[in-house]
Amino acid sequence: MLVNRIIKCSFNRISFRRIPCNDVIVSSLSSILLRTTTASIVSKAHHDVVFGGTGKNIIGGGEDHQYQNPTLSRNREKTWFQMLQEMIAYKNEYGDCLVPVEFEKNPKLGKWVDRQRQQYRYLKEGKSSHLEPKRIEALEREGFVWSSYDLKWSNRYKELLAFKEIFGHCIVPRHVKEYDKLWAWVFKQKRAYSRKKKGLLSPITDERIQSLEKIGFVWDLQEEVWFRRLQELRDYRAYHGDCIVPKHHPSNENLGIWVEVQRRQRKLSHLSEKRIELLDKEHFVWDVFEFRWQRRFEELSEFFETNGHSNIPMQYAKTSPLTRWVKVQRNEYNKKLKGKKTSMTERRLKQLQSINFIFDH
């Protein structure tokens, strides 16, 4: 008599063979099958306890059939918290919870830590995960790092903040040994941002972009050069007291040219409001001739306040630049009277009249 009997069994494969069989053989095969199945369940449960599996049994019920042995559940919980204690011991020794996956002193711990991160990712993606809220809380209480990449990013960001605190900007120099690693990180952020703008796969998130932009991070190379020149202008003003940079400034010719370009760009309405505002904060001089005129007028006003008149004696050597300026104003006024082209605007005329300036001396 031929009957179907199971002679080989595993969790993923069951094979059948047609064999002659009597009651003794049936009894023996049933015993073997029971022992094999039980051993497989225990083995899988042990693996889940150590490495954080779900304890699901796929025999007869697929993924939705869960093994419910309460003893094994308690063992899993106990072992999980034992592994947590081992991680805490690692933290006490090394100062953090960044256990290497291939940790030679405790290989199981490295794999367990990696498994927690994997289960956390599953949780965030809405997939099945054994990581319960109390376990997450226990791990985070010890400063568990769910992503080592996130930790590294955060540390570099803090370095950039410290750099800005010192220099006032986020333009990290390329060839300064002290900032080599920070510059490399900054470069990677710009490259990742560029990929994101093109719709390509990129590790940078909108949240990180906002964090960087909040501290004045510069994405564009041309923008970076512009801000570098702005900082040079700040340094010039701190030393000289104004932003009147000579076009051919001996110590920084590029700065003098850049200043001229800003004035020209504004006249052509090519300079953004943001850049205009930043330059205005530094008391940038958009019209050098007007600036110099106003400076001389202030000198003449001081003379008027002291002497009660604005008639500068020609013999005063100390005031010779002012004397020449006064003479130029009279000449420009005469041009105005004759209807010729002149620099004597109505506003300037009113300013001079306010200090009783004598035009026909």
At residue 98, the pLDDT reads 81
Which of 26-40, 115-129, 206-220, 244-258 shows the lowest per-residue confidence on average (mean pLDDT)?
26-40
The yes-or-no verdict on residue 266 having pLDDT over 80 is yes
Give the mean pLDDT of 1-20.
Answer: 42
Burial (CB count <10 Å: 0-12, 13-18, 19+), residue 78: exposed
| Residue type present at position 227 | F
Condensed to tens digits (0 to 9), the pLDDT of residues 102-112 reads 888 999 999 99
Which of 7-21, 94-108, 151-165 shows the lowest per-residue confidence on average (mean pLDDT)?
7-21
Confidence of residue 160 (pLDDT cuts 50, 70, 90): very high
Condensed to tens digits (0 to 9), the pLDDT of residues 38-85 reads 444 444 444 444 444 444 443 333 334 444 567 767 888 899 999 999
At residue 183, the pLDDT reads 92
The yes-or-no verdict on residue 24 having pLDDT over 60 is no
Confidence of residue 31 (pLDDT cuts 50, 70, 90): low
pLDDT > 70 in the chain, percent = 78
Average pLDDT, the chain: 80
At residue 281, the pLDDT reads 93
Which of 58-62, 92-96, 153-157, 337-341 shows the lowest per-residue confidence on average (mean pLDDT)?
58-62
The yes-or-no verdict on residue 152 having pLDDT over 60 is yes
At residue 314, the pLDDT reads 64
The yes-or-no verdict on residue 14 having pLDDT over 70 is no
The yes-or-no verdict on residue 237 having pLDDT over 80 is yes
216 or 318, which is more confident?
A: 216
């940038």: which residue's tokens?
284
Confidence of residue 168 (pLDDT cuts 50, 70, 90): confident
- Domain spans in the chain, listed from the N-terminal domain onward: 2-49, 70-141, 148-216, 222-281, 288-353
At residue 88, the pLDDT reads 94
Give the mean pLDDT of 188-195.
Answer: 92
